[in-house]
Chains A and B, each alone.
Chain A
Amino acid sequence: SQQGEEDPQALSIQEGENATMNCSYKTSINNLQWYRQNSGRGLVHLILIRSNEREKHSGRLRVTLDTSKKSSSLLITASRAADTASYFCATDAISGAGSYQLTFGKGTKLSVIP
C-alpha cells in the first residue's frame, strides 16, 4: 500500500521559480527520503532526512520534516529546465522480517518551462 502521498500530482512552473512539493505519510518512520525519476526509469536519491531532524539542505534542495503532522516538503529553488522529472517521497518502515523496505508515494510530476 502507498504510505507517502505527494501533492500536487503535477506542477508546472517557469524556469527560475521555486517548486514546492509536499508529502504526507501515515505511520511512524525512521527516515524519509526524496527521489527523482526521469522518463519512468531509474530513481536518483536526492536527500535523506532522519526522523529526529527538522530541516536539511543540499545545494538547491531544502527538505523539511514535521513528524507531528506526518508530513515533509521538498523545495527546489531557482528551478532549471533540467529539473523536469517526477519526484517521490519514500518512507522506510521496519517490517516484521527486519527489512527496511521503502514505501513510495505516487509522485509529483514537475515540469519546468524554459
Chain B
Amino acid sequence: GAGVSQSPSNKVTEKGKDVELRCDPISGHTALYWYRQSLGQGLEFLIYFQGNSAPDKSGLPSDRFSAERTGGSVSTLTIQRTQQEDSAVYLCASSLAGQGIYEQYFGPGTRLTVT
C-alpha cells in the first residue's frame, strides 16, 4: 500500500512569510509524528498526534509553530513568520498506534529553505 507522503517536497520562502507543510499518513495509522532535521541539531521531535488530538506538543520550538490533524488522517504543520533558523527538513511519521511496540514509518520529508 501507499506509504507516508508529504508535500511539498521542497519549499523556499522569504523570511517573515508563513508556510504550511502537509503530511498524509498511512491509512489506518492512528499515531502521527512530526520531526525536524537540521544540520546543527540532528533529528528532533516536534509534535505527536493520537487521532485528531495532540497530547504531546513538547517539541515545538516556539509559538510560531502549530499543527493540526483532521479526520484522523491528514496533518498540517504551520510555521508563521518564518525565520532563517527554521530552515530544515521536516519529516512526518505514522504508526499503527502511539505505542512503542509499533515502528514509525517516515515520509520523504519537506526541505524548507528560508531566505
Contact = CB atoms under 8 A, between A and B. Distances in A.
Secondary structure dominating the interface of A: strand
Interface in B68-103: 89, 91, 93, 98-101, 103
Given A99-B98, A100-B98, A40 B89 contact: yes
A104 B56 contact: no
Contacts of A41: 89, 108-109
B106 A43 contact: yes
A94 B45 CA distance: 13
Secondary structure dominating the interface of B: strand
A97 B48 contact: yes
Interface residues of B, number: 28
B48 A99 contact: yes
A95 B45 CA distance: 11
Contacts of A101: 33, 45, 48, 56, 59
Given A41-B108, A99-B55, A101-B33, A48 B103 contact: yes
Interface in B31-77: 31, 33, 35, 37, 42-43, 45, 48, 50, 55-56, 58-59
A105 B43 CA distance: 8
B37 A40 contact: yes
Contact of B107 (A2, A42, A94, A103): A42
Contacts of B106: 35, 42-45
A100 B98 CA distance: 6
A45 B89 contact: no
Given A99-B98, A102-B45, 10 more contacts: A40-B89, A41-B109, A45-B103, A94-B100, A97-B58, A100-B48, A101-B33, A102-B35, A102-B43, A105-B42
Interface of B: 4, 31, 33, 35, 37, 42-43, 45, 48, 50, 55-56, 58-59, 89, 91, 93, 98-101, 103-109
